[in-house]
Structure formats: C-alpha cells, structure tokens
Chains A and B, each alone.
Chain A
Amino acid sequence: MDRLHYFVILTTFVMSTAVGLTAIFFFILYRRRSETQTTPHIEPAPLLEAAFVIIPLAFFLLWWVMGYRTAIGLATPPADAMDIYVQGKKWMWKFAYPGGPNSVNVLRVPSGRPVRLLMTSRDVIHSFYVPEFRVKQDVLPGRYSQVWFQAVEPGRFQILCAEYCGAGHSIMRGEVIVLKAEEYEDWVSAQHRGLATKQDGPPTALDFAPPLGNLVDQGRRLAQEQGCVKCHSVDGSQHIGPTWLDLYGRRERLSDGRIVNVDEGYITESMMDPFAKIVDGFKPVMPSFANKLAGPEVAAIVEYIKSLQSDAVRTGPSEGPAYAPVRGR
C-alpha cells in the first residue's frame, strides 16, 4: 500500500510542476511585444480535447482500481482473526480480550496473527488510528465498527484518536505492544491466573476485578448475577425471552416484520435499548441495562452468547426453514 502512496504522490508532483513550468515556458516564449499586439484565434482539435479527458481519466482510474482492491482487503478480516473488544471514551481506550484480561490504553497482540477489533464508543465519535499499521476506523456510540490488522514484527506502536472528541482529543493516545506469539500466551495466562493484573494503565471503577477466567466465563457469571437467565434460557427451551442457544448468527423476525441478523451490535443494542427491536412473538418487558453494565461486561455477555452454539442443524424459533448457521464475518 505504501508503494501506492508514493506512486500517487509522485504523479501529483510531476503533473503540478509540469503545468506550472508550461505556464512559465509559454510566458518566456510568448511575451507581449507591444501594447497593441493581436493574436490568432486558436481552438483545440476535438482529438486534443478528448486527450485532455482521457489521459487524466486513465490515471485516476488506475489509482482507483489499485486503491479499491486494497480497500476491500482492508475491510475484510480473515475468518481466523482473533477478536478483541475496544471501547473508546473521553479520553482513553479500553481493551477486553477473549482470554479474559482487560486493559486501558495498552493493547497487546501476538505478531503474525490477524486481529479484529470490535469497537464502540461510550460517548462521542472517536477514531482508532495506528499510523504504522495504516489502519483507521471511526468508533461510534451505539454501534460496533470493526477494523483488522496483522502485526508482522514485535514492537511498540502509537494509537492516536483521529476524530475530534473534545479537550483531551490530542492526548487520547494508547499503545499497541506486539509480542511474539509465545510471549503473548504467557501474558494471557499470567493475567488469567491473576498474577499480573492491572499492569496496563490506571484501573478505573468501571473495570471489574479481579479477572475471573476468560470472557465467556465472565459472561456466564454475569448472566447469573444480572438475572439474564431468568428470562433467557441457554438450552433452547422457550421462556419469557428468546433463547440464547444458537442466538448468535441467527436471523430473527421482528414484531414489525423486519428481519435482523443477530450480531454483536444487535445483542448490545438489545441490552441497552430492549424495545428498539422486539423479536416477533415476545412481549416488550425487558428492562434496559444501559448504565448498569460496564463495557468489558457487555463484551463478556456477548462472548458468552456467542459461545452457546449447538452442533445440530437447527430450526430457528422465529425463522421457518432449517439452515446451518453462518459463522462468517
């Protein structure tokens, strides 16, 4: 991609200098010789006018084809990417790992492995930017956006916020620490055993401590504590709310006839604003969990729900024909 950057900058330089020099060259060649000089009437041949269109168009389209192919790659995380949840808030970054630990402002990733970040914001729009990785994605309140990268070598790289978010915008910085795969595993297990908690940045009241197991375990515990399982079964049986078994990846029919794909965004929305999308056949009775769950807790519950997948080919309770769940991205 950097080669494309340089190719584009180079063409730009050459063109603008050429135009400027042509103007000066014409000035030298065609200086005004008397105050009453007249000039011939010249109009371009149609072919020349066509060249004025076709030559830049060809260049621009070449740029576009190269750029768009890269863009598709940038927007398509590989299926085996490791998920990490990111929450932006004024003015810090929080990360929740599938293995359990969570951290503030420091993101640890293994080298040589694709990483997908599932990002959301608690307040205004932020933008996750790591200049060295050439990735940037806005982080929006009320929805998830994703970005992925694969770090090649171990090292430390700055995370910047690229969308203006207030007084602390320019100090909303973090760091990606790329570790060798084994080092990363060591770090995760150390976190898991509670040996090295809270080494990444200042703890805040919203972090729940100490980490107990991975996100799925935390989610299972939280679902008990918060009373989720009083209405949502995890074994496929019907209850007050839709069952969580095979929920992730399902296509649900809503009470107003729309169909939604159940993804991280939908699950989070249903926790925060339960009446926004009611599944057909259920009553709007669920309380909102907005301001009751911290970001990593939401991520934990989402991960728990994602883990509840049966192997059987299933019939969706609200979607007619049986189909195999699609787990793609």
Chain B
Amino acid sequence: MRQSEEDREKLGAPPAHDSYLTDGTTVMSWLNTRDHKRVGVMFLAAVVFFLFLGGVFALAIRMKLLYPGPFLFDALTYNRLFTLHGVTMIFLFMIPAIPSAFGNFVLPLMIGARDVAFPRLNLASFYVYLAGAVLAIWAMVHGGADTGWTFYTPYSTTTPTMLFPLLLGVFVLGFSSIMTGINFIVTVHTLRAPGVGWMRLPLFVWSIYATSIIQVLATPVLGLTVLLVALERVLQFGIFDPARGGDPVLFQHFFWFYSHPAVYIMVLPGMAVISECVATFSRKNPFGYKAIAFSSLGIAFVGFFTWGHHLFVAGQSVFDNGVFGVLSMFVGIFTAVKVFNWVGTMYRGAISFKTPFAYICGFLFFLVFGGMTGVALATVALDVHWHDTYFVVAHFHFIMVGAVIMAFLAALHYWFPKMFGRTYHEGWGLVAASLIILGFNATFIPQFLLGNNGMPRRYYQYPEHFQALNVASTAGATLLGFGFVIIFIYLLIALRWGPRCEQNPWRSKGFEWLTESPPPTHNFDRIPHITQDPHDYRTHAPSGVYADV
C-alpha cells in the first residue's frame, strides 16, 4: 500500500510514479545504469553469491575437521580451501558487503541527494570489482592457491600454486574499494540537502565516511604489497626473500598496515547499520550522538597504528610489542564508547522486537565478546600462547561473522522494504535469526576453547584430544548454514510474492524514508528541506518537507 494521497499533499510531495525498479527493465538498462540504487542492488547480488561460495568452502573445511586424521580430501586441497575461504569472504564479500551494497543504496538517500557525486565512477567500481572477482575465480578454477589469505612470504613467493592471478585479482579489487571510498567522501561533502549539517548526518553516514577514509588511505598499500609479491614471484626481485637479501618480516609489516585497518573497513559499516537500527527500533535519539559519530573517526585513525600486534612472535622487539599492544587498546575504548551508547539509546525508548532488533542483540554480544578477546590478544604475553591458534580464529570470526554478518543481516532486513517495496515473513525472520545466533555460538565458542588448549590454526590433521570440540564446532556450523538457507528462501519469496509495504513501515525518522519505497529513479523529485535530526523521536512529524528550491 502506497502512502495515502492526503499524506503526500501534506509533505508537498509530487504524485507517485515509477520506482527505480520499473524504470527500464531490460538487461542493458541494469548493466549500463548510473543509478546508485541499481549499482547497490547489483553489488548486493554479487556479494550474496560470494557469501554463498565462501560459506561452501567453510562447510567443506568443517566437514574435514570432524576427524583428526586424513578425511574427505588431502592436505593440499584443505590448504587451498581455507585460502579460498579467506580470500572470498574478505575481499569479495566482507569489504564490499555493507559499503558498496547498502552504502550505495541508502547513503545518497540519507543526505537527501539524487545520486552519488560520481555516478559513472560508481558503475565503474562495480565492473572493476567484477574483473577482480573473475581473476580470483579463474585462479580458483585453475587449481587455487595454498598460502592462506595472508600471503606470507617466503612461502607465497615459492609455492607452485596459482597465486599470481589471485594476487592480481586482489590488486584489482583494491581499486574498486578506493573508487567507492572517494565517491562517498565527495558525496558527503558536496551533496547534502539543505538542512543537513554535519551534526545532523545520520550515524550511518558518519561511519561510512570513516570507512571511506580508510579505504582511500590504506588500500594502496595492499595494492603495492601484493604487486611486490607478484613481482618477486615472476622476476625474483629479492625484496622479501632472505636468500636474495630480502626480509620476510617486511612483508608482514606491509601486509598488516593495510589488513589491520581493513578490519575496520569491515566493522565500521556494521557499526553504521547498528547505530541506525538501534535508534529506529528503540524509537529514540542516540544516546551520545557525537560520541558515536566521533568514535568512528577515532577507530579509523587509531586503526592505522595497531598493525604491529600481528607480529608479537614474529621477531619484533619487546618494546614495539608493548607500544602496539597499548595502541590497539584504544580501538577497544572507542568501541566500548559505542556499545555503551547503543545500550543507552534503548534506555526509556519504545522498543519493538523485530528481526533487525534480534540481530542487534546478537551483534552487541558478539562485538563485546570478540572485541574484548581482541584486547586480550593485544595483551602481549597472552598473545604468545594464543597467537596463530584457534583462539585467534574464533576471535576474528566473532568480529567478522558475529558482528559484521549480524549487521549485514540487520541491514538486509531493515532496508529490504526500502529497496524492494515488499515485506518478508516476520516469523521466519525471527526463527532464522535465533538459528543463526545459536549456530554461531555453537561454532565458535568451541574454537576459543580449542585455541586455549593449544590447537594451531590452518591444521589439516590435529592431535586426537581436540576431536570432541571440533565435532561440536562442525555441528554449530551446520546449524548456521541452515539459518542462511532459510533466510535465502523467505527473502526470495518476499521478493516475488511478499505483500507490498507502505513508504515507511518502521516509522523511522531516517531521511531515506522521506521518499517512496522503492524510491523513484532520481530519489527526490524535489529536494527535501530537512528540519529535524534524523533520530528525533519526540514528535511524529516527518523530519523534512518538500519545497521548491
């Protein structure tokens, strides 16, 4: 049901017309689109595909680990599988998931813009992403690589597997990330509607803005690093190979200088989504708007100075270890500030326990647990025992799968009506959410215990006394897999047969709900004048009005 004509007149909005989904239905109209919403939807389809692919790799790994000895496939296949799992999940799913899919779709709507600042660059970023993905898939089909997603030298410079196209793929994917980052930074600076001051930006925009800064500043370092590894493989450069006078630890410094901030490229957008959802579903202003907004920038800044905590046992000096340890804790402080403010937002709110709210609860638990184990790992002496064990694996999966995928699913459910104008089955939504949160805990809590008992990561075979916990973890992963299948099914059904929804089904004050759901091609026929904060729930009045500019 569309918004009533009476409401529309009150807003001074133009009459209803074609949405972006129906404005051109040929394949070319999608492939050649410059509409940020269509680019966002295409990104969404792509990342969901790679989530599926990475998930299949993950389940294959878990199935093997049911038995301590050789099982199902050999060690080389196992090593390729965890490499492909890591590369797919990180470079093809996690990094573009929230910024490129949801960021593209809602960020311009949230600042009252008709599109991003550079629509062509936006489309190009999608095709560059596809090119990188094709290279990566080509490498996978032709045998894959067995280095782990970390590509540590000198192993990566000597392995005979198909690493070169994979590195090239990662190099190309980096450009897509940079393009998206630049686009968002310029969009936020230049295209805000009248009335949207910096202190009136939705919190989602603040976090995505911080993410974009990292994307632009850190990604070039990754590009150069993988290029150096590729050159070392092909031309025997001798930058990282000690036999030629190089330094293998230098690679680790280069790599983590990108890859640690990259963690925040993945997590900050998750925090962005949660900031929005907490306000909407508690129907309350964010407790400490500025604290949440600036802590995003703080994480982006401090994130550049923590990479050394990956090298505590790699031969770094004890002094450096201590410095990197204490710097890493500041990320924990900024995160804690966010967490307390999100919980504070619920205080005296009007909470509605819909599917996205279930994911918020999961997110809070996983982020605090994963975050605090992260700080524990930065406590130098503890890392010596936990380093490169399943404890680390469980820690970063709590952040990446726990927190980020919870946020991804929250975003998917929260903006599904905005993107497609239809609603999904709420009951199934809650069932799947509980299954996923339960399955996730069952998968990764045993892995914390495994790591604490001393099981190193990337182990094809493992000592037999670790079997019970590994079986528990595999059982949990199966549950998790079922949860995803259920979501996939009911969302596909909703896409085709779901009941049409009104313009603002959550009654959110967010600016993206000021236009129709799904929005028309140019978002706003007339640019709205924003008169209230995006999370102001003292009144029901819409947060902006349409007026002739």
On A, residues with C-beta under 8 Å from B are 1, 4-5, 8-9, 11-13, 15-17, 19-20, 22-24, 26-27, 30-33, 35-44, 49, 52-53, 56-57, 60-61, 63-64, 66-72, 74-76, 123-125, 127, 129, 131-132, 134-138, 140-143, 145, 158, 160-171, 273, 276, 290
- In the bound complex, residues from chain A placing their C-beta under 8 Å from that of B536 are 41
Which stretch, B227-235, B358-366, B428-436, touches the partner chain A?
B358-366
Determine if B75 is an interface residue (Cβ-Cβ < 8 Å): yes
Shortest beta-carbon distance, A31 to chain B, in Å? 6
10 closest pairs, A vs B, by CB? A142-B242, A131-B454, A67-B379, A70-B381, A71-B380, A16-B369, A16-B368, A26-B346, A170-B459, A12-B372
Interface string of B503-538 (1 = CB under 8 A from A): 000010000000000000000000000000000111
- In the bound complex, residues from chain B placing their C-beta under 8 Å from that of A168 are 75
**Is there contact, CB below 8 Å, between A53 and B313?**
no
- In the bound complex, residues from chain B placing their C-beta under 8 Å from that of A4 are 379, 381-382
- In the bound complex, residues from chain B placing their C-beta under 8 Å from that of A20 are 361, 364-365, 368
**Is there contact, CB below 8 Å, between B75 and A140?**
no
Report the Cα distance A143→B314, complex, angstroms.
11
**Is there contact, CB below 8 Å, between B372 and A15?**
yes
**Is there contact, CB below 8 Å, between B382 and A39?**
no
- In the bound complex, residues from chain B placing their C-beta under 8 Å from that of A17 are 365
Show 13 A/B contacts (Cβ-Cβ < 8 Å), sorted by A: A8-B379, A15-B368, A19-B339, A31-B350, A36-B540, A39-B538, A53-B333, A53-B337, A138-B315, A140-B242, A142-B242, A158-B463, A171-B461
Determine if B283 is an interface residue (Cβ-Cβ < 8 Å): yes
**Is there contact, CB below 8 Å, between B351 and A141?**
no
List B residues 316-358 near A (Cβ within 8 Å). 318, 321-322, 325-326, 329, 332-333, 336-337, 339-341, 343-344, 346-353, 357
**Is there contact, CB below 8 Å, between A67 and B325?**
yes
Partner of B458, one of A12, A67, A164: A164
Shortest beta-carbon distance, B297 to chain A, in Å? 15
Report the Cα distance A253→B322, complex, angstroms.
31
Determine if B276 is an interface residue (Cβ-Cβ < 8 Å): no
Partner of A60, one of B368, B375, B460, B537: B375
**Is there contact, CB below 8 Å, between B315 and A170?**
no
Shortest beta-carbon distance, B271 to chain A, in Å? 14
Report the Cα distance A168→B79, complex, angstroms.
10
**Is there contact, CB below 8 Å, between B336 and A56?**
yes
Report the Cα distance A126→B476, complex, angstroms.
31
Partner of A127, one of B248, B249, B313, B339: B313
Given A32-B350, A43-B288, A124-B158: A129 and B248 interface contact (C-beta under 8 Å):
no
Determine if B287 is an interface residue (Cβ-Cβ < 8 Å): yes
Determine if B33 is an interface residue (Cβ-Cβ < 8 Å): no
**Is there contact, CB below 8 Å, between B364 and A19?**
yes
Determine if B125 is an interface residue (Cβ-Cβ < 8 Å): no
Given A61-B329, A64-B329, A140-B315: A12 and B376 interface contact (C-beta under 8 Å):
yes
**Is there contact, CB below 8 Å, between B351 and A30?**
yes
Determine if B306 is an interface residue (Cβ-Cβ < 8 Å): no
**Is there contact, CB below 8 Å, between B75 and A167?**
yes
Shortest beta-carbon distance, B340 to chain A, in Å? 4
Given A15-B368, A135-B384, A158-B463: A276 and B348 interface contact (C-beta under 8 Å):
no
- In the bound complex, residues from chain A placing their C-beta under 8 Å from that of B344 are 42, 44
**Is there contact, CB below 8 Å, between B329 and A170?**
no
Report the Cα distance A145→B313, complex, angstroms.
10
Report the Cα distance A143→B245, complex, angstroms.
11
Given A39-B350, A44-B288: A125 and B540 interface contact (C-beta under 8 Å):
no
Partner of B287, one of A23, A36, A43, A160: A43
Shortest beta-carbon distance, B294 to chain A, in Å? 11
**Is there contact, CB below 8 Å, between A68 and B381?**
yes
Determine if B211 is an interface residue (Cβ-Cβ < 8 Å): no
Which of B287, B381, B385, B387 has the largest number of chain A CB atoms within 10 A? B381
Report the Cα distance A69→B380, complex, angstroms.
9
Report the Cα distance A49→B79, complex, angstroms.
47
Report the Cα distance A5→B379, complex, angstroms.
10
**Is there contact, CB below 8 Å, between B364 and A42?**
no
Determine if B549 is an interface residue (Cβ-Cβ < 8 Å): no
Q: Which B residue sits closest to A17, measured CB to CB?
A: B365
Shortest beta-carbon distance, A281 to chain B, in Å? 23
Shortest beta-carbon distance, B532 to chain A, in Å? 11
- In the bound complex, residues from chain B placing their C-beta under 8 Å from that of A23 are 343, 346, 360-361, 364
Shortest beta-carbon distance, B285 to chain A, in Å? 5
Shortest beta-carbon distance, B383 to chain A, in Å? 8
Given A19-B343, A30-B282, A71-B380: A42 and B459 interface contact (C-beta under 8 Å):
no
**Is there contact, CB below 8 Å, between B365 and A19?**
yes
Partner of A166, one of B146, B315, B340, B456: B146
Given A16-B368, A44-B287, A143-B315: A52 and B337 interface contact (C-beta under 8 Å):
yes
- In the bound complex, residues from chain B placing their C-beta under 8 Å from that of A140 are 242, 248-249, 314-315
Q: Which B residue sits closest to A276, measured CB to CB?
A: B245
Given A38-B538, A125-B154: A5 and B382 interface contact (C-beta under 8 Å):
yes
**Is there contact, CB below 8 Å, between B381 and A1?**
yes
Report the Cα distance A72→B319, complex, angstroms.
9
Partner of A71, one of B318, B346, B357, B458: B318
- In the bound complex, residues from chain A placing their C-beta under 8 Å from that of B384 are 71, 74, 134-136
Report the Cα distance A289→B347, complex, angstroms.
72
**Is there contact, CB below 8 Å, between B248 and A125?**
yes
Q: Which A residue sits closest to B340, measured CB to CB?
A: A52
- In the bound complex, residues from chain B placing their C-beta under 8 Å from that of A16 are 365, 368-369, 372
Report the Cα distance A136→B382, complex, angstroms.
11
Given A8-B379, A12-B372, A140-B315: A169 and B346 interface contact (C-beta under 8 Å):
no
Q: Which A residue sits closest to B322, measured CB to CB?
A: A68
